[in-house]
Amino acid sequence: MSYKYKKVIFVCNDNTCRGPMAEVIFKRFSVEMGIEAVSRGIVVLFPQPSNPKAEMVLRNHELLLENHTSKRIAKEDITENTLILTMTEKEKKTILEEFEEVAFLFDVFTVKEFTDEEGDVIDPYGGDLMDYESCYTDLARLIKKTVVKLNGEMQ
């Protein structure tokens, strides 16, 4: 038995908050699965560290986002049996357009769509710590559902 996907890429706009948070949460809940998890951004003009508020919220939940530097998603990131989970419908469309030539290698969904929900994961950027905590809570719930779904799709 093995998993349908070998790699999960969490994609957000600038790879400093939602994507990295989702990556760290996924790694906590999928320890035994052996599925590689990374995060990437759509608009990364230059490498940036993760958002300090996102780091603080993760630390409050005993998760560490260590030495994160934002990276733009590239064709090299996409390998066979890759699952790409975006935070928004707009990001999903961008991925489908930009990586059309390697579309046979991956499946792409918004993280809510993958877990049979509707809407986007709200970007807390510019908000207060409670906005980041709310984003974490939303992502933690969605990632738990993602892990359950992936466990149900073993081949």
Q: Active-site residues: which are they?
A: 12, 18, 123
| Torsion region of 119: left, alpha or beta (phi above 0 gives left; psi -120 to 50 gives alpha) | left
Angle (deg, nearest 10), helices 52-60 and 18-29: 20
Smallest Cα–Cα separation from 153: which of 35, 39, 21, 26? 35
Token code pair at residue 86: 């975006």
Q: Rounded CA gap, 113 and 59, in Å?
A: 28
